[in-house]
Chains A and B, each alone.
Chain A
Amino acid sequence: MNVVVDLNRCQGYAQCAFLAPEVFTMHGEESLLYHPVVPDGQLEQVRRAAVACPVQAIVMGEEAGAGAR
């Protein structure tokens, strides 16, 4: 499972960094860094973070074109 954050939308509310700190971390006051490949065992936390994001900036899904490699 992969994740991408629309950082035009993101306003640094940091809900995701609170709910899934292994995947989302704040860098400086309002910049967000994240791991696009969700590690095993973090899926539920990331799902919760995606739902909780006040601006709905987190997109989750299977890695695109994974079968095409």
Chain B
Amino acid sequence: MHGEPRDGRIVIVGASLTGLRAAEKLREEGFTGSLTLVGEEPQPPYDRPPLSKQVLLGKVPAGHTGLPQRRELDAQWKLGVRATGLDPIEKRVLLADGAEVPFDRLLIATGTRARRWPHPAEGALDGVFTLRTSDEARRLAERLDAGPRRVLVIGAGFTGSEIASACRERGLAVTVAERGPAPLVGALGGTLGALAAKLQRAHGVDLRCGVTVTALEGDGRLTGAQFSDGTRIDADIAVVALGAVRNTEWLVESGLAAGPRGVTCDAGCRAFDMYGIVTDDIFAAGDVARFPHPLFEYQLLSLEHWGNAVAQAEVAAHNMVNPGPRRRPHLTVPAFWSSQFGLNIKSVGVPTFSDQVVIAQGSLKDARLVAVYGYRGRVTAAVSVNQARSLEYYQRLIETAAPFPPAPGAADQIESPDPVPSDVPDPKLLSHGPTVALTGHLPDRRLTVVQPAR
């Protein structure tokens, strides 16, 4: 490190929301050294949540979601160039154009990308899309403008459901194929999943749950799809909404604890090496980071939330320019929102960290409610549907580890007060397996070797 922590060279790899907010925070905290942001996409930082909403609805052009900056950055931007490697000994980032960027401290904020359709030839058919970048949103919005006869959405998580909602709002015929028993079930569990299924069908979505798409058909251009239940449909467009892949491949030889689940770091955003030893000058934040959260039994969480990106970026930046005793933990209660089928869905806490759920306010019938999630007798999450103003109260219950089920509040209670199983998927079933393996037996021969993703 060059002298004081407020001097020297900081490089941020990833020039989206996390990278931008970290850069702002570094300057705010008095960092006077050189600051470089490296971004794979040619555009400066832009906001992604509008892509599946305003942009797909045709209300805002895809190129018009640029993020405002809150202060002057005096930064060097290297946009349109991918980082391909990290040399932690010589302390430099390797770029796809052959350049090397030296650093004293590094922030890894490379985020995620959309998971592609597993069959490359089918995925290359004209009419098959993913939605993660501004460019992808622009192309998809153009095709929706052209009035396809039917859109197939593969995967009914939040992104897939929002895409289906935008299509229905445009009056387009939509089929949604979901492997699980209901939309959103992976994030919100069975009770709200059932509500989401009802809503999608009420809005005219041809929703097919418990099926997978076995083939995308076409000759150059997509014409239809086959399902695992033996049925098929005609479709002009298929949007693959099967979640995200973390951008960690460039770190594979870096010696960091980086793999398909993200870059593991401590609560202060310092990255671990693959032996589990914390590094001093390499930090991670945003969608790519995987960090322990004390409220959730110190489990390592990887969150793909807008709010987490902002909060974690600020903690990382603070810790990059402050000495040890002044460093802060990233303790924000996770929160996210989604807007679909006329409903505003907001979540605090971690709904998948639960064994039971109860409708604490409102009712499923009116699609206006707060569902509260509990784990072993304490409140761990709450999700509101068109009742956002109640959520803050439940956030405090989560923060204080309040008992579950929550005591009857002042609000109305129409649904049964008895909790039911939350029916969230067992995370073990979603596991990608260990990203490292141990070899050797003698203490000084014990080694960790990186296990490629299977």
Contacts and interface: CB of A to CB of B under 8 A. Distances in A.
Please say whether chains A and B are actual partners in one complex: yes
A52 interface: no
A69 B59 CA distance: 24
Given A28-B342, A28-B344, A29-B344, A64 B53 contact: no
Q: How large is the interface on A (under 10, 10 to 19, 20 to 34, 35 or more residues)?
A: 20 to 34
B68 to A, nearest CB: 3
A10 B227 CA distance: 40
B320 to A, nearest CB: 19
A49 B50 CA distance: 19
B132 interface: no
A2 B67 contact: yes
B310 to A, nearest CB: 8
Contacts of A67: 77
A8 B346 contact: yes
Interface residues on B, range: 35 or more
Given A8-B307, A64-B45, A69-B44, A37 B66 contact: yes
A4 B45 CA distance: 12
Given A4-B68, A7-B49, A29-B344, A65 B388 contact: no
A6 B309 CA distance: 12
Interface string B1-38: 00000000000000100001000000000000000010
A13 B248 CA distance: 40
A67 B344 CA distance: 36
A8 B344 contact: no
Given A35-B54, A36-B47, A65-B77, A4 B336 contact: no
A19 B346 CA distance: 25
Contacts of A63: 44, 66-69
Nearest to A35: B60
Contacts of A7: 49, 306, 337
Contacts of B66: 2, 36-37, 63-64, 66
A60 interface: yes
B68 A69 contact: no
Contacts of A66: 44, 66
Nearest to B23: A64
Nearest to B340: A31
Given A36-B67, A65-B75, 11 more contacts: A4-B68, A6-B310, A7-B306, A8-B337, A34-B50, A36-B47, A64-B44, A64-B68, A64-B73, A65-B20, A65-B79
20 contacts: A2-B67, A8-B346, A12-B389, A27-B53, A27-B339, A29-B342, A29-B386, A30-B386, A31-B344, A33-B59, A35-B64, A36-B65, A37-B60, A37-B66, A61-B68, A63-B67, A63-B69, A65-B15, A65-B77, A65-B79
Interface of B: 15, 20, 37, 42-47, 49-50, 53-54, 57, 59-60, 64-71, 73, 75, 77, 79, 306-307, 310, 335-337, 339, 342-344, 346, 386, 388-389
